[in-house]
């Protein structure tokens, strides 16, 4: 099971919109192995394109053995992040078939790739003066807490705390603490991307870096990485016979 498989608790094309968006967000950050017509030459690659449902699609898997297994033999490939492949295919007007036969199988047409590259272009909005902070709306917590918590946990080495607060008068703000100023633009970009894949919230969700304690009513995220499970006890040997 790969990270994409674990996220695909429901097949992509049967999943609801929030789960599909989370799978696409994970796909953007996943290294994909893309089938080529021949080995790369002089830094040039030619993707294998297959006719499917009246359109051309490239084939990619999130593991090399999956790609070889689909063809039944080794195949020339190039590895690149999903976001780079989506941008490349967008210029070609082609679609993408991912992990055929696996739990995370998905067929993305040109329109879906166009949406994906647009979501990945999301940028955080400049900070503005805000009114007092409140607790987040329960519907916003239900929609954002789990996926945002998972994304923030990925950043546990870069930040010391995170909380979601409401803004009196409308909207929400994601408060990030302990981030190196040099890394803040990249962190803000990654979080803006994550929010772009989640259900939009009334008034939007801003991102703010602060080392001040969040209000008591804010939703605080647990950034403690999961502990590795201890190894199973080794079975005792057979009894000694006398």
CATH code of residue 158: 3.30.300
227 assigned to some structural domain: no
Domain termination site, one of 120, 151, 175: 120
CATH of the domain at 15: 3.40.1350.90
19 shares its domain with 106: yes
**70-103 per-residue burial string, b: 16 or more CB within 10 A, e: under 16:** beeeebebbebebbbbbbbbbeeebbbbbbeebb
What does the alpha-carbon distance between residue 34 and residue 29 come to, in Å, rounded to a whole number?
A: 15
234 assigned to some structural domain: no
Structure tokens, 123: 């940028």
pLDDT band at 236 (very low <50, low <70, confident <90, very high): low
43 assigned to some structural domain: yes
107 shares its domain with 159: no
Q: What is the DSSP letter of 221?
A: P
Q: Which of 47, 2, 45 is nearest to 27 (CA)?
A: 2
Query: How much is the pLDDT for 217?
Result: 92
pLDDT digits (tens, 9 = 90+) for 2-13: 889 998 999 999
84 shares its domain with 151: no
Taking CB atoms within 8 Å and a gap of at least 24, the contacts of 78-82 are 78/33, 78/34, 78/36, 78/40, 78/45, 79/31, 79/32, 79/33, 79/34, 80/31, 80/32, 80/34, 81/28, 81/29, 81/30, 81/31, 81/32, 82/27, 82/28, 82/29, 82/30, 82/31, 82/32
Q: Which of 104, 103, 120 is nearest to 197 (CA)?
A: 120
84 shares its domain with 137: no
pLDDT band at 241 (very low <50, low <70, confident <90, very high): very low
6-10, 15-19, 133-137, 213-217: lowest mean pLDDT where? 15-19
Domain termination site, one of 120, 154, 173: 120
pLDDT digits (tens, 9 = 90+) for 48-103: 999 988 889 999 999 999 999 998 888 899 999 999 999 989 888 899 999 999 99
Query: How much is the pLDDT for 229?
Result: 63
Q: Select the more confidently predicted residue: 164 or 16.
A: 164
State yes or no: pLDDT of 128 exceeds 50: no
Q: Select the more confidently predicted residue: 122 or 163.
A: 163
CB 116 within 8 A of CB 28: yes
37 shares its domain with 139: no
Q: Into how many domains does the chain fold?
A: 2
pLDDT band at 179 (very low <50, low <70, confident <90, very high): very high
97 shares its domain with 178: no
Domain termination site, one of 87, 120, 153: 120
17 assigned to some structural domain: yes
18 assigned to some structural domain: yes
Query: How much is the pLDDT for 169?
Result: 80
Determine the structural domain holding residue 66 and report its residue range.
3-120
With residues binned 3-state (H G I as helix, E B as strand, rest as coil), the percentages for the chain, rounded to 5, are 35, 20, 45
200 shares its domain with 106: no
Query: How much is the pLDDT for 36?
Result: 92
**196-225 per-residue burial string, b: 16 or more CB within 10 A, e: under 16:** bbbeebeeebbbbbeeeebeeebbebebee
Query: How much is the pLDDT for 213?
Result: 87
106 shares its domain with 149: no
116 shares its domain with 143: no
Q: What is the pTM of this model?
A: 0.61
% of the chain surpassing 70 pLDDT: 90
70 shares its domain with 111: yes
């Amino acid at each position: 099971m790969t990270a994409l498989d674990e996220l695909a608790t429901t097949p992509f094309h049967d999943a609801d919109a929030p789960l599909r968006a989370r799978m696409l967000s994970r796909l953007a950050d996943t290294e994909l192995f893309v089938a080529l017509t021949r080995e790369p030459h002089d830094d040039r690659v030619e993707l294998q394109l297959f006719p499917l449902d009246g359109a051309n699609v490239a084939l990619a898997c999130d593991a090399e053995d999956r790609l070889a297994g689909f063809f039944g033999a080794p195949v020339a490939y190039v590895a690149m992040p999903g976001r780079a492949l989506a941008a490349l295919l967008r210029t070609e007007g082609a679609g993408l078939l991912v992990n055929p036969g696996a739990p995370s199988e998905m067929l993305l047409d040109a329109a879906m790739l166009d949406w994906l590259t647009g979501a990945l272009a999301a940028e955080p909005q400049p900070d503005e003066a805000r009114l007092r902070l409140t607790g987040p709306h329960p519907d916003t917590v239900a929609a954002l807490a789990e996926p945002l918590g998972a994304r923030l946990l990925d950043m546990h080495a870069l930040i010391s705390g995170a909380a979601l607060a409401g803004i009196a008068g409308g909207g929400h703000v994601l408060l990030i603490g302990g981030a190196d100023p040099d890394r803040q633009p990249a962190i803000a970009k990654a979080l803006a991307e994550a929010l772009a894949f989640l259900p939009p919230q009334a008034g939007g969700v801003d991102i703010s870096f602060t080392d001040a304690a969040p209000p008591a009513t804010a939703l605080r995220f647990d950034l403690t990485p999961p502990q590795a499970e201890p190894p199973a006890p080794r079975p005792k040997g057979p009894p000694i016979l006398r």
